[in-house]
Structure formats: C-alpha cells, structure tokens
Amino acid sequence: MIKHLSYSSINTYLLCPRSWRFRYIDKIQTPVSPNLIFGSAFHDTIEAIIKESALAESSNMLPPQLFEHNWTHKIQFEDVDWTGVDPADMLATGVSMFKSKDCLEVIRAISPMAGDAGEPIIERRVNLTVPGVPVPIIGYVDIITQDGVPCDVKTAGRKWSANQADDELQPLFYLAALNQEGFPLNSDWRFRHYVFTKTKTPAAQVFEVARKPSEVFWLFGLIADVWQAIEAKAFPPQLNGWKCSDKYCEFWPHCRGA
C-alpha cells in the first residue's frame, strides 16, 4: 500500500513507470550506485560546513578530510556496484572538489536561515496536498537561505546550462509545498540550484530560477495523472529515455536485460 509519494518517486515514474514498480511495489533490492554514494557524502560534507559556520563551531577536520570521512563511512555500510568504477578515483574527485577555491567560496557564501531554536534550516521536510490524490506528497529542501529562498545542492558530471536549470521540475514542487504550508517569505517564488561539477577542474555554479503561483495547477494535474496511472497499475517501460540502459538502470537485469 502506498502511504505517500515524494518528489523523487514522481520523477522516477516520469522517467520510467516500470522502474517505479520495481522500486516501490516489487521492492527489488539492488546495489547502490557509486554516484549516489558520492552525492550523499558530498551533501553531508556541505551541510556540516554550513552548520559549523552558522553555529560558529569549529571542526577538527578540513573540508577534504571531512569528505573522505563521510565517503569512507558510507561505503562501509552500503552494497555498492563498483562495476567500471574505481573507488579511489571517486574519493580523489571529491577531495579535489573540497580543495577547489571556486567550490569552497560558493559553499562558504551559503548562509542558512535560522529556525525557531536558532538551528540552521537544512533538510527541511515539506508536505504537499494535491486534490484527487489521497496520499501526501513529501520532500526535503536541502537548505533555506536567509533571504527565504529554498535551495538544492547537486553534483554533476558536467556543467549545467541555464536552460537545464530552468527546466527542472523540482523548484515548482518545493515552492508549491512551502506556499501551501504558509511559509511567509519568498513571495516572488525564487529557487536556487547549487551545482558542483565532478570535472578535472572542479567548478561551482549557482542558478536562480523563479516560478509563478499559477503553475501550481499544472503541477497538481501532473501529480494527479501519475497517481491515477499508479492506481491503474500502468507500468510500461520507457524505452526511449536515457535511463533505459544497462549503464544507468539498476533494474536492467530484471527488465530488458533479463
């Protein structure tokens, strides 16, 4: 029984309904992607740096050491598919990103909003109620900055374009949820992407996009369509998408590769 949807689960359904069924209905367990582990360790490291700065605390570890600590801890407790990937190379990439002047300047310029107890607002849960959908839609905003703008932190293999940032569905989802919850700031519906590239020379990009309240009706329709398809057990494979390959789909052995 589906008790809730999330932004990530809706995005998974849009990428490939069959993949969604394997994950959320059949609950097939698969090894974790190294990129997922990398992104998680990267997030944890950035959050620790931001918290230390906001709370005027000091760490015994410099950012590169902190990333290495988070990375090492995560790979110890996860079943990771290392096919074609050298863990040492990925670790070196993360360390180089946290040594990068460009990346560190962007990270240290992030100033989170303080919550009621004075703690920085990081990983804030949001809930969205959609007409016609009987379960809540949940998500977690990486950071809300002092100016009231919700932000998301991503790692990427290459630089983003402005069009790519503007085309993302994620900003509308989080902005709609915060508005529905009565969040009093950010009346102009801005959202900020922080993109850190895993390139030979690491880079940091900041994109600010804006959405309109009227776009929420389109979002509600999209989510309602996904829910109706799930209820109808409509889980066809999406053969033409980028995810449909043995390289990118964790469920390939259970589908086209079976």
Tell me, what CATH number does 31's domain have?
A: 3.90.320.10
Q: How far apart are CA 170 and CA 179, in angstroms?
A: 14
81 or 190, which is more confident: 190
DSSP string, 112-174: BPB-TTS-B-EEEEEEE--TT--S-EEEEEEEEBTTS-EEEEEEESSPPPHHHHHH-SHHHHH
Burial class of residue 36, CB neighbours in 10 A (0-12, 13-18, 19+): middle
- Digit-coded pLDDT (tens) for 209-232: 999 999 999 999 999 999 999 999
Q: What percent of the chain has pLDDT over 90?
A: 81
The verdict on residue 116 lying in a domain is: no
User: Quick one: which of 23, 4, 16, 26 has its CA closest to 235?
Assistant: 16
What is the predicted pLDDT for the residue at 235?
96
Which pLDDT does position 117 carry in this prediction? 79
Position 93 in a domain:
yes
Task: Assess whether pLDDT exceeds 90 at residue 257.
Answer: no
Handedness of CA 211, 216, 217, 222 (dihedral sign): positive
User: Would the pLDDT of 241 be above 80?
Assistant: yes
Measured between alpha carbons, how far is 90 from 235 in angstroms, rounded to an integer? 34
The chain-wide mean pLDDT, for the chain, equals 93
Residue 230 included in any domain: yes
Domain that holds residue 105: 5-111+121-254
Question: Is 64 among the domain residues?
Answer: yes
Tell me if 226 is assigned to some domain.
yes
Q: How many domains does the chain have?
A: 1
| Average confidence (pLDDT) over 5-21 | 95
Q: How far apart are CA 96 and CA 197, in angstroms?
A: 11
Q: Note whether residue 171 is domain-resident.
A: yes
Compute and round to an integer the Cα radius of gyration of the chain: 19
Residue 172 in contact with residue 216, Cβ under 8 Å? Answer: yes
Of the candidates 105, 123, 121, 102, the residue with the CA atom closest to the CA atom of residue 113 = 121
pTM of the full predicted structure?
0.92
